[in-house]
């Protein structure tokens, strides 16, 4: 394919073909899964941290840099026009993925963390003052805690929390009282990154809206697994990261209702976010460009469009059922191990779980199973308040992607047997 025939459509969808859920054929599309690790097949069970990338995404990155590498929105020449078109089409793909009303409501950022920081900074500057309240929950990732702590300290506001119950669900019995006349925004995770709790996000949003309170949803762990419809949810802001959704690192999405985004000041100053600049003042650009200062991660944005097309062309419900089956199989397998305790038992758990093993540090578990080719996450998972709630210093986390299969679970079981053998007497 030469540069004359390559276009944005080929970059975004050429390699994404429709197919039903077929794990074997899907796995063939992820080159890294063909690797051996320490002489063993790779059982990658850390997709909540970052998903692996299908060949279509790798091709998209390579095609951009080898065929149309140019800056967007600023060049009149052919390559810049192609890059700009591909970049714009990725935004349209994101709009479709989220079912946003308008493409301009979809802002490209570096990831979920930057998206939340953007809203904490810009919304906070515009709407949060002394003695106002910000409501989050005790199960949040640090990325949905620290920016609000910073805002509260900066503006003299108060940070309040929705508590957890012993099962690992949110205790919503007092939510109406927590949503006070002083509450300026509610920021809540769709799915816990540490224990997998799937929150009743629509009900929470609806209740907040009865009091005129906007809601930001951290969708980092939900977007890879669920069909997200921001219009049906009626959330005011929604965020997710490319690298957790089978796309490249360094890019993510902030969705915001247009009427909110138009009210907010810019996050950063620089090129592309302005219409006119004098030495005295600047006139800011329209959405979405107002929030996209400087040269963006163009290749990653285009490849994110490819990743989302790849995902949307699969049977999403079949994927969810497949991942649910793996989760149930893993829960059953872990329940047969003496000394293993799964953290929490929420009403609904999505695509991941965490566990402890009596007398064995999570880092030791992760190190030993790594010798058997199994990739787990170990630690506090950037959710220290949740770990404190369950009175553990950390845990081992198993998380799934659409490419995982029962062989991965069997390999994990064998690896955990090796852990028990090495630590015999402590369990």
Q: Which residues are catalytic?
A: 382
CA distance linking residue 294 with residue 297, whole number of Å: 10
CA distance linking residue 205 with residue 216, whole number of Å: 9
Residue pair 31/55 in contact by the 8 Å Cβ criterion: yes
Burial class (CB in 10 A: 0-12, 13-18, 19+), 197: buried
Residue pair 331/344 in contact by the 8 Å Cβ criterion: no
User: What is the chain's Cα-based Rg?
Assistant: 22
How many beta carbons lie within 10 A of that of residue 393, not counting itself?
12
Q: Is the Cα torsion angle 331, 336, 339, 345 positive or negative in sign? A: positive
Residue pair 344/198 in contact by the 8 Å Cβ criterion: no
Residue in 72, 77, 11, 6 with CA at minimum distance from that of residue 297: 72
HEC letters along 189-254: ECECCCCCEECCHHHHHHHHHHCCCCEEEECCCCCCCCCCCHHHHCCCEEEEEHHHCCCCCCCEEE
């Amino acid at each position: 394919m030469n540069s004359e025939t390559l276009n944005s459509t080929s970059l975004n969808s050429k390699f994404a073909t429709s197919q039903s859920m077929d794990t074997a054929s899907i796995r063939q599309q992820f080159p890294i899964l063909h690797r051996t690790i320490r002489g063993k097949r790779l059982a990658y069970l850390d997709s909540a941290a970052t998903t692996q990338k299908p060949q279509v995404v790798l091709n998209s990155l390579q095609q951009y840099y080898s065929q149309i590498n140019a800056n967007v929105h600023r060049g009149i020449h052919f390559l810049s026009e192609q890059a700009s078109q591909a970049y714009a089409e990725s935004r349209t793909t994101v709009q479709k993925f989220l079912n946003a009303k308008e493409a301009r409501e979809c802002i490209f950022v570096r990831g979920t963390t930057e998206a939340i920081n953007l809203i904490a900074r810009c919304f906070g500057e515009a709407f949060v003052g002394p003695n106002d309240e910000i409501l989050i929950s005790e199960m949040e990732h640090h990325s949905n805690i620290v920016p609000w702590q910073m805002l509260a300290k900066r503006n003299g506001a108060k940070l309040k929390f929705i508590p957890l119950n012993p099962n690992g669900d949110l205790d919503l019995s007092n939510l109406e009282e927590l949503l006070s006349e002083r509450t300026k925004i509610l920021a809540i995770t769709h799915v816990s990154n540490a224990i997998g709790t799937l929150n009743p996000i629509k009900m929470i949003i609806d209740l907040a809206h009865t009091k005129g309170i906007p809601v930001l949803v951290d969708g980092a762990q939900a977007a890879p697994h669920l069909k997200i419809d921001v219009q049906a949810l009626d959330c005011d802001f929604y965020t997710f990261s490319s690298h957790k959704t089978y796309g490249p690192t360094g890019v993510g999405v902030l969705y915001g209702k247009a009427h909110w985004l138009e009210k907010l000041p810019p996050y950063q100053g620089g090129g592309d976010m302005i219409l006119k600049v004098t030495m005295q003042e600047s006139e800011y650009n329209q959405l979405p460009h107002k929030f996209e200062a400087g040269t963006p991660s163009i290749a990653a944005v285009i490849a994110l469009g490819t990743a989302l097309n790849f995902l949307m062309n699969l049977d999403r419900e079949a994927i969810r059922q497949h991942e649910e089956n793996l989760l149930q199989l893993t829960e059953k397998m872990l329940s047969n191990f003496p000394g293993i305790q799964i953290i929490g038992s929420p009403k609904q758990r999505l695509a991941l779980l965490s566990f402890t093993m009596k007398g064995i540090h999570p880092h030791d578990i992760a190190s030993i199973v790594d010798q058997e080719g199994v990739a787990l996450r170990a630690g506090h998972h950037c959710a220290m308040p949740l770990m404190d709630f369950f009175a553990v210093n950390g845990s081992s986390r198993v998380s799934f992607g659409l490419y995982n299969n029962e062989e991965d679970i069997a390999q994990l079981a064998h690896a955990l047997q090796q852990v028990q053998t090495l630590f015999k007497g402590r369990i």
